[in-house]
Chains A and B, each alone.
Chain A
Amino acid sequence: MMEFFDAVMLARMQFAFTVGFHIIFPAFSIGLASYLALLNGLHLYSQKNVYLDLFNYWIKIFAVAFVMGVVSGLVMSYEFGTNWSVFSFKAGPIIGPLMGYEVMTAFFLEAGFLGVMLFGRERVGPKIHFFATLMVAIGTFISAFWILSVNSWMQTPAGYSINAAGQFVPEDWIKIIFNPSFVYRLVHMVFAAYISTALVIASVGALHLLRLNKSAVGSAAGTFTQGSRQAVCLMFSMALWILAILVPMQMEAGDQHGLNTFKYQPKKIAAIEGHYEDAKPAGLMIFGIPDDKNRKMDYALEIPYLGSIILTHSLDGEILGMDTWPRDETPPMALPFFAFRIMVGLGVMMFILGMWSLWLRHKKTLYEKTWFLKYALVMGPAGFIAVLSGWVVTEVGRQPYTVYNLLHTTQSHSLLNAATVGTTLVAFITVYFVLFGIGVYYILRLMNQGPAGSELASTPVTQSKNAVYGSYLQNVGKGDSHES
């Protein structure tokens, strides 16, 4: 048991923990930043207050999520060096410049305009404020571009040579940035971010619609104004449009990404598909419990031919099994196998949500059907779970390498003792769970409050519990009392 917790294993756990925590927040901020830019633009164009109401509502949630993304991302940029110094030395010449460009083109853009976006509306006017919002949104997008380029290069390295010191030397930057799996990964991730955000927005919309519908029927003590109902309906409708359109596109993108992985990372596909032995034709494993020790799949439930059809687009195409390669060159099967099934299963449930919404729209009952609203409500976190699952598939599937087939994970780490890494791991877990737990609690509390309607600005719920962020700071600046 003790040798399981050696420094390398602990370093991997630390990295996995911090990235796993981190990935949720950028996924949310990419989607939310675009949504905020859209709302701000629509308000600027149409001058309708409802867009501004929604903007003011979501920007508070964005502020909390963004800050958690920033600080957990800061940790990531240093952990390469602390825990993975050999990897840093060898892959730094390629990955470093890409991350350098990320910081300069994206990170600064987001952070630089964030202040104006959050607090500056009154000071700079609506047009510059819209510009600032747009810059933040573009920043999140550019950030995704570079980071996925880095990640994809580690998966499908290209455009390099190796020097005497064992370093990867960049030869062709176009090939490095646009490496074979990059476009697939970028599209898949950006769609995932948009879908995850839309699911959250739809879920919050559903929550408030359920309450509004109930209070309209039941007691007269509805806490919402007419304006806020309009805002809730609008955000619910917008989010479901996004889902109805993007989820099918994401399925196609995921399929294309799978074909690309089949071509460049067949070992990962073998793990995902659950095949230990070569299969020709190959079935599609619906369920099973992988037994890495005895190299067999227990309780396998398989649909004949379907695996070949999906991956090779022919009835009897061959899919290589894990035993094609030496055992120390393949990833463990269970994690990618199960994570993939969670991701795809959630994808199907999102697809149902989108299609159902189209049907109800057609019937003009989108905002009334209680079962549909409840379904939308519980699907709120589905996108993040799918993102995390997809990340497990792609990262664990890359094992046992940091740079696929070229640099072994066990040869990438720093010479550290287990106690040091273990101590900091515990510190990370404690700080992250406490602080980000509180952050998520605040986000949920904001979501629970619902958007204010500007037609009747004295909406009790939203004003008393939580004074509007910007106006609070303004009051402070002017020396007013800050208890509203």
Chain B
Amino acid sequence: MNLDITLIWGGLLAFVVLAYIIFDGYDLGVGILIPLMRSDQERAQMLSSVRLWDANETWLVLGGGGLFAVFPLAYSIIFPALYLPLIGMLLSLVIRGVVSEFRWQNKQSAMIWDSLFFVGSFLAACFQGMILGALVQGIQVVDHAYAGGPLDWLTPFSVMTGIALALGYSLLGATWLVLKTDGELQNKAFSLIKVLGSLMVLMVGVVSLWTPFLKQDYLSRWFAWPQAIYVLPVPLLLAAAIFILFRAVNRRNTWVPFVATISIFLLSYIGLLISIFPYVVPDTITLWEAAAPLSSQKFLLPGTLILVPIILIYTTYAHWVFLKEEKA
């Protein structure tokens, strides 16, 4: 009992979801910003800055597949509960994926494909945010199965988290554009960061204040003494990251805004995990209750521990190849 495999798996899956949020977040964000750019040239440049979107999206497949493999009970409760937003997200991603390819096939219709690319990116982001919100606010479970209705997920809270995530992604997208482009487009991206960053601060504030009041349990994590002292660094670091973001924009630094925004995401995510741990279906099913038999967990673990770093290496390589090109 000195090595808790299930806990390691919880950590690994949390990492995979975070990797998805950051990787696909920047390219969904770029898609959301498309309508703000008027010229065809700028839009084409934006789209070619997210040409690795399918590698980024693979983290989502791994997240879903990992949950299926290691926490099948959670998978079989969460997925039917979030049926409509999940299918909505999938269809949005289907639309976004294919039209990103169609644009290069038929430039005459570029306007249509760009609009659909925006719609797909925006809806995918909103649905993901709503999925997150619905999970945090709780799912009705009876006898280890989802027992609610098809629209239970749709609440003011989940709509708000949907908008918050779409905003967050577009901020990440804007910082990515600063990193990947130059000239006029880069200038626009810099000014977008200021606007989106301010809105993001507002949303982080609203979500952070709303979440603890959803459930008594969340409240005590954050405000009960003495635990509060352990979680205090999270909001403090968050404030620091926001400060660094704005300062970097003023100094027109190209790398720091992207890294600072990733830190904002990371800290918000840690905050979320602090609220729900050790539950995987908040309040009802813990990691250990949801876990697959040990033989499943053991079979997949060594492969994951070896393969995920390798994947990160060649994914970084692919990003680097194109980073060099665009800066040359």
Contacts and interface: CB of A to CB of B under 8 A. Distances in A.
Q: What DSSP secondary structure best describes chain B's contact surface?
A: helix
Nearest to A108: B311
A477 B48 contact: yes
Contact of A82 (B61, B79, B318, B324): B79
A63 B321 CA distance: 19
Given A104-B311, A115-B318, A469-B104, A71 B68 contact: no
Contacts of B41: 476, 479, 482
Contact of A104 (B98, B107, B292, B307): B307
Interface stretch (B89-97, B231-239, B246-254): B89-97
A96 B62 contact: no
Q: Which of A100, A118, A435 has the most CB of B within 10 A?
A: A100
A146 B326 CA distance: 37
Interface string A290-327: 00000000000000000000000000000000000000
A111 B318 CA distance: 10
Given A71-B97, A92-B68, A115-B318, A171 B90 contact: no
Interface stretch (B155-163, B169-177, B273-281, B293-301): B293-301
A249 interface: no
Contacts of B321: 115-116, 120, 123-124
Contacts of A114: 54-55
B262 interface: no
Interface string A79-118: 0111001101110111111011111110110011111101
A149 B51 CA distance: 31
Contacts of A112: 55, 58, 311, 314-315, 318
B35 interface: no
B257 interface: no
Contact of A427 (B77, B91, B97, B98): B91
A80 B68 contact: yes
A416 B64 contact: no
Contacts of B325: 123, 477
B308 interface: yes
A356 interface: no
Is the interface on chain B under 10, 10 to 19, 20 to 34, or 35 or more residues? 35 or more
Given A416-B150, A476-B44, A424 B84 contact: yes
Given A74-B93, A111-B55, A424-B87, A167 B72 contact: yes
A415 B77 CA distance: 10
Contacts of A105: 303, 307
Contact of B299 (A173, A415, A466): A173
A67 B61 contact: no
Interface of chain A, main secondary structure: helix
B146 interface: yes
B288 interface: no
A428 interface: yes
A174 B72 CA distance: 22
A348 interface: no
Given A74-B57, A96-B70, A427-B87, A88 B75 contact: yes
A68 B98 contact: yes
Contacts of A45: none
Given A92-B69, A108-B311, A416-B80, A71 B93 contact: yes
B296 A96 contact: yes
A97 B297 CA distance: 8
Contacts of B77: 85
Given A124-B321, A482-B107, A431 B54 contact: no
B296 A77 contact: no
Contact of A100 (B66, B76, B102): B66
Contacts, number: 250
A427 B144 CA distance: 29
Given A70-B54, A99-B69, A473 B295 contact: no
B55 A86 contact: no
A88 B41 CA distance: 46
A298 to B, nearest CB: 41
Interface stretch (A33-41, A187-195, A436-444): A436-444
Interface in A46-86: 63-64, 67-68, 70-75, 77-78, 80-82, 85-86
A416 B51 CA distance: 37
A424 to B, nearest CB: 5
Contact of A438 (B70, B102, B324): B102
A53 to B, nearest CB: 19
B58 to A, nearest CB: 5
Contacts of A477: 45, 48, 325-326
A63 B51 CA distance: 12
A111 B54 contact: yes
A476 B86 CA distance: 35
B106 A442 contact: yes
Nearest to A114: B54
A187 B76 CA distance: 32
B40 interface: yes
B296 A93 contact: yes
A448 interface: no
Interface in A160-211: 163, 167, 169-171, 173
B105 interface: yes
A149 to B, nearest CB: 13
A64 B75 contact: no
A435 B95 contact: yes
- Scoring A113, A170, A446 by chain B CB atoms within 10 A of each residue's CB, the highest score goes to A170
15 contacts: A81-B75, A81-B78, A82-B83, A89-B144, A92-B292, A96-B65, A100-B303, A108-B315, A119-B322, A123-B321, A170-B299, A431-B95, A439-B102, A466-B105, A469-B104
Given A82-B83, A88-B79, A420-B83, 14 more contacts: A74-B94, A81-B78, A93-B69, A93-B292, A95-B68, A95-B69, A101-B300, A108-B311, A438-B98, A442-B102, A442-B106, A476-B48, A479-B183, A482-B40
Instruction: Please give me the 9 A-B residue pairs with the lowest Cβ-Cβ distance, nearest first.
Output: A96-B69, A81-B79, A92-B72, A85-B76, A89-B76, A111-B55, A71-B97, A414-B80, A93-B296
